[in-house]
Structure formats: structure tokens, C-alpha cells
Chains A and B, each alone.
Chain A
Amino acid sequence: MPLPAFFLTLIYGAACLGAGYWACRLLPNGQWRDLATAPGVTALATLFILGMSLVAAMLTLIGLAGWLRPAPIVALMLAGLSGLVIGRRALAFMPTAFMSWLRGWHEAPAAIRAVGLATVLIAIGCGAAAFVLPPLGDAEAFYVTYAKIMASSGRLEPMPGGYAYFSTIGLPGELHFAALMALQDTHAAKLFVWLVALAAAALLAAIAGACGLGRNGRLFSVAILFSSATFTHYISDGKVDLFSAAFGLAAFFWAVAPEKDGNARSYLPLVGLFAGAATAAKFSYVLAFGPALAVLLVWRCLNEENSTAPERWKESAVRLAQVAFWSSVAWIPHLIKNAALFGAPFAPFIGGPQDANWLHQVWFSPEVTRRIVLTYPFALVFGRYPMQGGGLSLLMIAFLPLVFLLPKAGKLKKSVLASVSIAALAGTVAWVIMRPSVIAPRYLLATLLLFVPLIAKAAENTWEDDRFPWLLRLGTLGAFAAAFAAAAYHLLPIPGAALAYLNGRSPPCALASEYCAPLQELGRIAMPGDRVFLAGYYSYWLRPDLLQCRDLPADARALEATSSKIDLLRERGFRYVVIDHASHEALAQRLGIADADSTGALRQIVRTPGLSVLEVLPGIPGHAEVGCREVRSGEWKIEALRR
């Protein structure tokens, strides 16, 4: 049902906003007073992201207690919404400021308004894509699937199946997904990422504003963002990378925000909380985001006047320590989660499941790695390496030479734009040194986005002075048009899909992966609590009970080791086997179904070019030693059967 899902997500977002108001009132140093003087949209985005973090922390606790059910979730939302009611007078400046900002665009040149309109249309298209597209790729394997399980069971536990070890990661978005899926459906959950993306865009514009960019430059920053596939791709596919990007941009903004009342330390709690949330949400951020943030904090400190050099260094150390303290506060919910689930709060770094190879990733051979490193920054824009997940906007390269036309800055050390650009460079260089083969902008997205203000400033410069050559202005417009066309290309199927969905005529597996139809067919015939052995990666389309009753890592290891595979499947209570022939063809061969449709022990139910769904025909009655039982509504547990 589209409309209820759409409005639920908006109300949930409003609840996060209200929760952010409560969080801000709790912070020291009069944070609320500081926020109230920030531009309206910036304050709105900050409160939303802060509240989102607080709500995720509360969902972690209620999930661990097994209360992730509609009633407690609604109670949490009401508590958040009460923040909007209680703080309505204090928050009233935001809509007024937003309308005033909107009216200001009336005076802009037609070309600039066209860029703005195109940006808005791309953003709306991304929102529609988030709403109608099913989870794809990694989201279909883990992120949305994990949320689906939690929404059904009402409990935060390690994810059943082959990704149990991966449950040690931070869960910045999965718990929000689970809450929205418990209340409504996957569409509501995925649309929430669009709200996060809009908040991230607002904060990038705020960083650009702090760097001295005007209205045009801030618009160009957002245009560059929404023409970056590494950003727009993750609005709609169901992954959670944009949560860490939003937290990271919030930390960066408050690290460079203009001081109020001469209190240079007043923003440090916000900076620390957002930095902690960003690194807990995506561990890779420690490598690039950490150095970039340190550069911003130290730069600001070292350029303060009325103190000696040793005093400034000492003050830098104090500020870094304060940020580290507040970062650790943001990590507390994650540590509690890992302590409860794995007995190892610092998993996967210390303790926890043994499979932690994913922390030390080397993606390519030394020769390919060398090529990647030597082709920076072009690799970040034009690269199409496996697992890269999209690149930055073409405008980052197209506008790069325009940087040399910028007027000379006064004192470079006083320039926020210089500090932001150097912070971006420091973070990116740190990443290239420590993870040279991992060419994936999403792993350090917030840091890479710090390059945007410089590029946007260079483009803005061509529009600042009427004497600027019209040829270059035309060139920038042409580049914008090309960037928007490339972004729109990926959104071409969306209008048709959205219309079909809104009219209720969308096929069940529209735009879904090849796993959808076979697993949905299995869902129609399997009995509640049947065990499925899934030899594949993408389990989202299984029914929630089948997801909770599916194979465990120990089952996969045992099946690999034994030669009596059918006996083992029967012993462990498996009723069905699903095989992805692209990734698990060896198992199909060992089960004897690679060439034949069925065997004496296995009956084929569904066969597609990529997948087989087989029924394990029963053997000796009472052979099964393992079963799956519903312990409470929607929550299923695998257990040994009593003989």
C-alpha cells in the first residue's frame, strides 16, 4: 500500500527530528542555542541526524530485549514527536527560514534556476527509486534481509545463515529498517534512506557555505552530489552507506562552523557524537575520516590568535581528546550490542566470530592496485572496477582546471575552504596508503565529499562576475547537463515502475533479482517452519519464518565435509535446498543434480537459468534430529527434536 508507507516514513522522520531536539537539550554548552542560530535547513538536518542516532540507540536496546514490536516502536515515535510539540516555538524559525531561502531563488538567473530544477528532479527521482525498487545486491543478501528478520522476530540477534559473523558491524540503518518494516513494509523502510540523503545534501551545502560559497556555489555542491553515482546508487538499493556519510558530513560541518560567543569548544560534543556515529556505522571511516577530521580540528586551533604556539598545540590536544570522548559515547550502543550478542564488545576487532577477514581487504593484484593508485583522481570518477559501486560526479574532473582561475585567497591559513580541501586530501591519501586496492568511494564518502566545495567554488566563480567569459559559463552549463543526463540515465525505468506500483499493477518481482521468483514460489508451497538450505547469497525473498529456520554456518561446514550429503540434510531437518548455480555449482554437482532435474532423493520444484529449488524427499521416519519451532508470534528458533 503506497500512501500509508509514504506517510509513515515521513512521520517516522519527524519523530527522529523531535528526538534530535531532545538530544540537543541534553547536551552541554548550550548546543541548542548554537543550533538555533545556524541556517534553518542546516539546523533541521543536524537535528534529524542526531535524532536518528538516538532512535537507533533506543531501538538497539529494545531489540536486545526482544521488544521490537509495533507497540514499543510507536511509543518511541510518540516520544520523538513530543519533541516537536514541546519545542515548537524554538523550532518555528526553521520553516520560516526555509521559505525565505526558497523565495530568494526568484532572483537567480534562469540558467542557475535550471540547474536547481534539474537537481531537484534528480533528487525526487532518487526518492521514487528508493520507494519502488526492491533491495538489490548486498542489501538483498544482508542489510534489508537482516531488518526483515528482526521485524518478524522482534529481536536483535545475530543474523541466521552465512552472515552471522557480519552481524558484529554497526547497525546505523538496519534497526530503522526493521522498525518501519514491523509497522508497514520494505517500501517505507527504503524510503527512509532518501530522507538521510536529503539531510546529507543539506549538510554538504552547509559546509560549502562555511567555506565562503554563496547561494550558487551551495547549489552547485548539491548538484555535484546528486550527479555522483556513488551517492545516488545507495539511496535506492537498500544499503546503509549513506548513514555514515550523513554522520560524517555533520561532524565535518560542526568542526568548521563559525564560532558563537567566542566559545571555540562549544561544538565539540556534536562533532564527537557525529564522528563516533560515523565510525561505528562504517568501520572503514576510521582510516580516512579520522585524519580528515583531525586536520580540521587542529587547523582551526593553530590559527587562533591571542595565544602562543605551545598553547595552541595544547588546546589542539584538549579538543581532540574531547572529540574522542564524545565519539566513545556514540559507540556505547554498538558496544552493548556486541557484548550482548557475542560476549565481545569490541568485536570484530577483539574477540567475536573468527571470520574477520573482511576487515583486511585486498581486492586486486599488485599490478591492478598500482594502476588504481596511479590513476587517482580519475579512478574515483571514471573507474568501473568490480565492487566499486559507482563513482563521483564527472563535474569533479570537468571543473578541476577552473580551480586555477580562482582569485588568490588572502591568508591561506584563515581560509576554511583551504582547510576543508587539505583535510579531504589528507584523508584520501591516508586511505590510498592503507587500502590502496580498495577502490570504493563509499568506504570514505564523507571525506571525498570534502573536495566538492573547492570544485563548486571554481564553477561558481564563472558566474560571480558578469565580465567572466560567456564561453566558460556555457561550458559549465554543458557539463552540468551531461552530468544530469548521466544521472537520469540510471533513473529511466523508475517513472514507469512507480506508476505501476501506485496503481497496484506492479508485478511481484518487478526490477528484482533472479532470486525473487523462485524464492517467492518456495514461499507459496513451504509449510511454516520448514528448513531451507540456501546455497547462495541473496535470501531477502524468503518468508520470514524460512529465513529464521534456514541453514547455520555449522550446517554448511558439515555438508561440505561429509560425503553423505542427503543423509545430513535429512538429519538436520532440511525440507528444501536452493542452489545458485553461478556461485555454488560444485554443490549441485556433488548432489547429482547438475545434469539431471531430480534424483531419487531430491525433487526439483523450480528451475531457472540461475537457480534450482529442490525438495528433499523424506527418508526414514523420525530421521530428522533438528527442527524449527515458533517460540512466540513471528519468532522462530532452530532446536533439537526430542526422540
Chain B
Amino acid sequence: MRWISMVARLALVAWMGASAFLFFLVTLSPDGPIAAAMPEFVLQLRTVAFNFFYSKSSLS
């Protein structure tokens, strides 16, 4: 079995918890502000991730 660091474990659990929490908010209020803001939020995350990996590769 592969060893997983404590940081990685916490990150995975945080991801699961955050997904569940956001999903709950969207379910309770599908026409509310959080549901409306989700696409832009995901796009921003995508931009951050892209910039992170792009910056990393440009350094190497």
C-alpha cells in the first residue's frame, strides 16, 4: 500500500468536505448566489492552477 503523508491526507479530506459543503449549499438554494457564482469560482480556480503549472514549467 502506498504511503500517504499527513498533509496529503488532510488535503484529500478537506477536498471531500469542501465539495460536500458547497454541494449542500447549491442544493438548498439552486437559484441562490452561491449556485450562480460557482461557474466563475471554478474558472478562477482553473486560472490559478494553470498559472501555477505554467509558471513552474517556465522556470525549469
Contacts and interface: CB of A to CB of B under 8 A. Distances in A.
Interface of A: 371-372, 374-375, 378-379, 381-384, 394, 397-399, 401-402, 405, 407, 465, 467-469, 471-472, 474-476, 478-479, 482-483, 485-486, 489
A379 B38 CA distance: 9
B31 to A, nearest CB: 7
B59 interface: no
B1 A467 contact: yes
B20 A478 contact: yes
Contact of B27 (A401, A468, A489): A489
Given A384-B38, A469-B9, A489-B27, 10 more contacts: A375-B43, A379-B42, A382-B42, A394-B19, A475-B12, A478-B17, A482-B23, A482-B24, A486-B24, A489-B28
Q: Chain A CB within 10 Å — which of B16, B19, B23, B38 has the most?
A: B16
Given A371-B39, A382-B22, A472 B17 contact: no
B2 interface: yes
B23 A394 contact: yes
Contacts of B40: 371
A264 B46 CA distance: 44
Contacts of A467: 1
B30 to A, nearest CB: 5
Given A375-B43, A489-B27, A465 B1 contact: yes
B19 A397 contact: yes
The dominant DSSP class at the A interface is helix
Interface string B27-50: 110110001101110110010000
B53 to A, nearest CB: 16
B15 A398 contact: yes
Contact of A486 (B2, B12, B27): B27
Nearest to B15: A401
B42 A479 contact: no
Interface of B: 1-2, 4, 9-10, 12-13, 15-17, 19-24, 26-28, 30-31, 35-36, 38-40, 42-43, 46
A374 B43 contact: yes
Given A405-B4, A482-B23, A489-B28, A475 B39 contact: no
Contacts of B38: 378, 382-384
Contacts of B26: 382, 384
A384 B16 contact: no
A472 B4 CA distance: 10
A483 B28 CA distance: 13
Nearest to A385: B39
A384 B38 CA distance: 9
Contact of B16 (A383, A405, A476): A476
A405 B2 contact: yes
Contacts of B43: 371, 374-375
A482 B13 contact: no
Contacts of A476: 16
Contacts of A371: 39-40, 43
B46 to A, nearest CB: 7
B7 to A, nearest CB: 12
Contacts of B46: 374-375
A482 B28 CA distance: 12
A471 B24 contact: no
A43 B35 CA distance: 41
Nearest to B29: A384
A530 to B, nearest CB: 39
Contacts of A374: 43, 46
A321 B30 CA distance: 45
A471 B27 contact: no
A398 B2 contact: no
Contacts of A468: 1
CB-CB nearest 9 A-B residue pairs: A482-B20, A475-B13, A394-B23, A398-B19, A384-B35, A398-B16, A375-B42, A384-B30, A479-B16
A478 B18 CA distance: 11
A374 B38 CA distance: 12
B39 A379 contact: yes
